[in-house]
């Protein structure tokens, strides 16, 4: 059965929406202007900014006395709390599993937070397994993390597809392994000249359908 390697944040789960909801709640709680959400979203850089650096920026901007660790944990817990699984994504994963695909999440990030998202949303019910970079000791696009995913699913990378929104971590990883891929463009233009995704899609449903139709 072929392996379906899936990114987590902004692929199967809408991390951007969850962070925006947390950010709005946080700004209201500290009495900051609502329009500051644009600054906070820019500072977050779609989750790419280190959480400790973002917490430090929040303390500096709003003269907060909250310990950094409390801000970091508050951000992480807030994103988990506001993360939801789209029922249509669950349905698409069910269909993929029913026709023989083995869905495994491969995610860069802290183990506790990423596993909490998977379990709290019920996404775990639709996956064969998952691999998170912190506990695996290796991160995307390193091919080793995808090999770990194949081992956990007790299958091989032969015939696998990779779906994700990161040009470097996801599509770059697929390219390094010689695997076909689907890139969730999220309104962006492809700008990496060294390789290209096999397919592009505007969301997780379309991406999963692209795999089912392109395999």
Strand partners, 164: 183
Residue 138, token pair as written in the block? 């290796």
Residues 169 and 144 placed together within one structural domain of the fold: yes
Q: 11-24 burial string, b = 16+ CB within 10 Å, else e?
A: bbbbbbebbbbbbe
**Each residue's pLDDT tens digit in the chain (215 positions)?**
899 999 999 999 999 999 999 999 999 999 999 999 999 999 999 999 999 999 999 999 999 999 999 999 999 999 999 999 999 999 999 999 999 999 999 999 999 999 999 999 999 999 999 999 999 999 999 999 999 999 999 999 999 999 999 999 999 999 999 999 999 999 999 999 999 999 999 999 999 999 998 75
Residues 68 and 96 placed together within one structural domain of the fold: no
The total domain count for the chain is: 2
pLDDT of residue 83: 98
Q: Which of 82, 117, 136 is the last residue of a domain?
A: 82
Residues 168 and 62 placed together within one structural domain of the fold: no
Residues 41 and 74 placed together within one structural domain of the fold: yes
Residues 33 and 124 placed together within one structural domain of the fold: no
Look up the domain containing 66 and give its range.
Answer: 15-82
Residues 9 and 23 placed together within one structural domain of the fold: no
Residues 126 and 202 placed together within one structural domain of the fold: yes
Q: Which among 165, 87, 162, 90 has a CA at the least distance from the CA of 124?
A: 90
Residues 103 and 198 placed together within one structural domain of the fold: yes
Residues 166 and 149 placed together within one structural domain of the fold: yes
Residues 73 and 26 placed together within one structural domain of the fold: yes
pLDDT of residue 157: 97
Alpha carbon 50 to its chain centroid, in Å, reads: 15
Q: Which of 58, 82, 106 is the last residue of a domain?
A: 82
Q: Which of 82, 109, 138 is the last residue of a domain?
A: 82
Residues 53 and 128 placed together within one structural domain of the fold: no
Three-state secondary structure call for residue 73: helix
Residues 100 and 196 placed together within one structural domain of the fold: yes
CATH number for the domain spanning 92: value is: 3.40.50.1000
């Amino acid at each position: 059965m072929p392996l379906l390697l899936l990114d987590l944040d902004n692929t199967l789960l809408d991390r951007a929406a969850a962070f925006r909801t947390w950010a709005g709640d946080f700004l209201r709680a500290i009495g900051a202007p609502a329009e500051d959400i644009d600054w906070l979203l820019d500072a977050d850089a779609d989750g790419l900014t280190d959480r400790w650096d973002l917490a430090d920026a929040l303390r500096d901007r709003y003269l907060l006395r909250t310990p950094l660790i409390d801000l970091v944990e508050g951000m992480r817990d807030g994103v988990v709390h506001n993360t939801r699984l789209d029922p249509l994504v669950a349905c698409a994963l069910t269909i993929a599993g029913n026709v023989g695909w083995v869905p495994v999440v491969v995610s860069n990030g802290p183990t506790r937070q990423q596993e909490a998202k998977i379990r709290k949303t019920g996404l775990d019910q639709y996956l064969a397994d998952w691999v998170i970079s912190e506990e695996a000791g290796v991160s995307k696009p390193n091919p080793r993390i995808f090999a770990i995913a194949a081992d956990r699913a007790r299958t091989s990378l032969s015939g696998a597809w990779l779906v994700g929104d990161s040009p470097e971590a996801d599509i770059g990883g697929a390219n390094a392994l010689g695997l076909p891929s689907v890139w969730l463009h999220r309104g962006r233009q492809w700008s990496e000249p060294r390789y290209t995704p096999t397919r592009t899609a505007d969301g997780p449903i379309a991406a999963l359908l692209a795999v089912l139709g392109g395999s």
